[in-house]
Amino acid sequence: MNITAYRVIRWSGLSAILAGILFIVIQAIHPPEILSSVTTKAWAIVHYMTLAMSLLGLLGITGIYARQVHAAGWTGLAGFLLFGLFWTATTAFTFVEAFVLPVIAADAPGFVEGYLGIFAGSSAVSNLGLLPGVAPVGGGLYVLGGLLLGIAAFRAGILPRWTAVLLACAAVSTLASSLLPHPLDRVLAVPMGIALAGMGYAVWSERSLEAAQRQVRKQHGGRKNESHRI
């Protein structure tokens, strides 16, 4: 099988589908963010899934952006970069939650509780330096990146516009998380999961790009044949 730009973009769409599904499932099965949960199997499974989701999400939005790069403009580029930074940061912090916190939970419970409090919305019980400032920065990347990428996708009109609208609205709706107690605010992640999965499916199932790629190869092959005749 030849590796073409079309195939790379198409399979990144499948990554977005899986990331969207995982984003929704994880919200439903996430254990309480308390010290006693950190050493459980449920905690490990959920955070392994979150690592996979973050990496798949990064690959997925790369393909989503690449599919419409010529029409997305600077808005699309800014949205892609900001949203990509969010998924990258999520990968880094989830790695700590999956592999570091369970190991040090018994010896440094204050640090673990403080770390969990960053994302659970509770006050830290340990001096974590600059880490508590990461949550609002990550939230800003999520909101602004998703909003800009959604606007760019809507204006480009290449992917279904309902997915672009849902992506933008899902990103902005996170601002309302302060109105809901944790962990009920996790329900706000469901629209984002649907938007990612919808965009990913549109990229993965699209045939028009494949037809265009075949036409280009056919024309290129015709030129080669003509040059041989000459």
Query: How far apart (Å, rounded) are the C-alpha atoms in residues 2 and 226?
Result: 24
pLDDT value at position 121?
A: 62
Q: What is the mean pLDDT of the chain?
A: 86
pLDDT value at position 114?
A: 86
Average pLDDT over residues 198-216: 72
pLDDT value at position 64?
A: 95
Residues 6+ apart with CB under 8 A from 104: 111, 112
**In the predicted model, is pLDDT for residue 2 greater than 70?**
no
Q: Report whether 83 contacts 141 (CB < 8 A).
A: yes
SS3 call for 230: coil
**63-115 pLDDT, tens digit each:** 999 999 999 999 999 999 999 999 999 999 999 999 999 999 999 998 898 88
139, 179, 199, 220 from 186: Cα distances, Å: 13, 12, 21, 51
Burial 19-54, CB ≥16 within 10 A → b, else e? bbbbbbebbeebbebeeebbeeeebbebbebbbbbb
Query: How far apart (Å, rounded) are the C-alpha atoms in residues 132 and 16?
Result: 29
